[in-house]
Structure 1
Amino acid sequence: METSEISVTTKYLTNEEKFKLEKQNSRMVSEFKANQIEADAKKYWDLFYKRNECRFFKDRHWTTREFTDILNDENNSEKRIIFEVGCGVGNFIFPLVEENFNFFIYACDLSPRAVSLVHQNPLYNTENMKVFQCDITDGDVFKAIQENKIDIVTLIFVLSAIHPDKYLSTLKILFKLLKPGGMLLFRDYGLYDMAQIRFKAGHKISDNFYMRQDCTRSYYFSIEFMQDLFTKSGFEVISNCYIHRRTINKKENIDVPRIFIQCKVMKPK
């Protein structure tokens, strides 16, 4: 069973959680290692998809539920254009195809192997989608999509895997791709999520930024941080909140708290 609530405040840390977060500072990721995993980010995500293929992430049928007012626009009969950043193996785009929404979908991923797996899916159809390999942080995307082209950009559990130094420039690239009045939908890991607190010493790169065992990375966002970042990128912030979720199984004595951050922002008309 899952329960969830929306909030503008993050969780209250227990003394034990404060101790765990402080202990992470006792041994940080070395500058050499941090630079190496930044340089080889594409390689590590390719290895991730080599190991897991299509088995790791579940299809995101929840996206249209969480963003109903944006995606289920019954008053708009014109085909809209969506761009999914960090498509992985298609866990977002193929549920949309199955629901027969009136979209043309662009999607990209840093990993060539992930893109190849998308192309192998029986639902992949070049008439209503174009999926390509791209590093969204360096402007290569403009070779595939022109400015002011996109109605909706989705950035779901993607920005956290990018180095924080590149957040602002990445959002400015996405801002250019959107039409005036276009929306960016954002969901990612929230500050003090369970996964952040569980990191051991030796995994912290910088404030709220961590290296996983497989050398992929994860950042944990506050709503204040995202408010400032979106504003500096030129967006108008429509909503910006934490999603507090608990996965509860009384029979197995499991009660796992999760914190995500969810935002809707618009390129001004």
Structure 2
Amino acid sequence: MEEHTSPNPAVVHTVPGPPELTEQISQSLDRQNSRLVSKHVADEVERNNKKYWDLFYKRNETRFFKDRNWTVNEFDEFMNEDVGTGVLLEVGCGVGNFIFPLLSWSNIRYIHACDISPRAIEFVKQNPLYNPDKMNAFPCDVTEDSILTEISHGSVDIATLIFVLSAIHPDKFAPVVANLFTLLRPGGIVLFRDYGLYDMAQLRFKPGHKISDKLYMRQDKTR
């Protein structure tokens, strides 16, 4: 465990170290490494990322993910009188399982919501809770500059990445961070949640699904 002292000397943040690499975990990783995704398939998955997520939502519509009602307990930043009453950008909004529950308890003034799947965005707009006067849902690949044309620079108070980074190739993390930095106002914050290293979501993948270190694809070629 590492301790990081904040500017306030009364506050100490404890950051857990990496999980222990047990023999059982090593065996699971060795099985995955016995047959990696070929470069040809990995490149094809990268090129057609939008296509595979669109097909995912064509099959599952709004039924796959549950509403993320846990956010009220996990992200107390939304209770902050400054950023918690401002403008939210949700990256990778899917069909709205994060933003629509948020409406019932937060004081966010305006919501931008984007997803790489145009079909997912259509489901967001079809939701009875969608209010075009207070929401802007649009298809977008956050690894590209196109998001910068949709939102005023320096206008976002909170940006969220909920189970998004694990679906993006690590080589593209830098442009994602750069784009969000451009959109955030001074004092704005980024909230993210994702899978943990060596958790069951990672270890249950069988051979033929590992693209690279910490990057996997599912049977339907989504990541």
- Do they superpose with TM above 0.5? yes
Instruction: Verify the 8 A CA contact 1:83 1:106 in the aligned structure 2.
Output: yes
The structure 2 residue matched to 1:210, chosen from 207, 212, 216, is 216
Distance 1:119 1:24, change over 3 A: same
- Cα deviation digits, residues 206-249 of structure 1 (max 9, x gap): 111111111011xxxxxxxxxxxxxxxxxxxxxxxxxxxxxxxx
The residue that corresponds to 1:103 in the other structure is 109
Q: Which amino acid aligns with 1:180?
A: P
The residue that corresponds to 1:117 in the other structure is 123
1:177 aligns with 2:183: yes
The residue that corresponds to 2:19 in the other structure is 11
1:165 aligns with 2:175: no
The structure 1 residue matched to 2:79, chosen from 66, 72, 90, is 72
Instruction: Verify the 8 A CA contact 2:29 2:203 in the aligned structure 1.
Output: yes
Compute the TM-score of the two structures, normalised by the length of structure 2.
0.89
The structure 2 residue matched to 1:129, chosen from 128, 135, 140, is 135
Q: SS of the counterpart of 1:154? A: strand
Compute the TM-score of the two structures, normalised by the length of structure 1.
0.74
1:22 aligns with 2:21: no
Distance 1:158 1:15, change over 3 A: same
Instruction: Verify the 8 A CA contact 1:26 1:201 in the aligned structure 2.
Output: yes
Q: SS of the counterpart of 1:180? A: strand
- Cα deviation digits, residues 236-267 of structure 1 (max 9, x gap): xxxxxxxxxxxxxxxxxxxxxxxxxxxxxxxx
- Cα deviation digits, residues 15-70 of structure 1 (max 9, x gap): 222111112111110100000000000010011111111111111111121111x1
- Cα deviation digits, residues 166-215 of structure 1 (max 9, x gap): 00111111011000110000111111011211111111111111111110
Q: Which amino acid aligns with 2:126?
A: Q
Displacement of 1:78: 8.8
Q: SS of the counterpart of 1:214? A: coil
The residue that corresponds to 2:154 in the other structure is 148
Distance 1:41 1:158 in 2: 13
> What RMSD, in angstroms, separates the aligned Cα atoms of the two structures?
1.7
Number of aligned residue pairs: 210
Segments of 4+ in structure 1 off by > 3 A?
75-79
Instruction: Verify the 8 A CA contact 1:24 1:204 in the aligned structure 2.
Output: yes
Distance 1:18 1:79 in 2: 45
Distance 1:77 1:15, change over 3 A: closer
Give 5+ residue unaligned stretches, structure 2. Answer: 1-13
Q: Which amino acid aligns with 1:89?
A: V
Instruction: Verify the 8 A CA contact 1:10 1:192 in the aligned structure 2.
Output: no
Identity of aligned residues (%): 56
Distance 2:52 2:25 in 1: 30
Higher strand share: 1
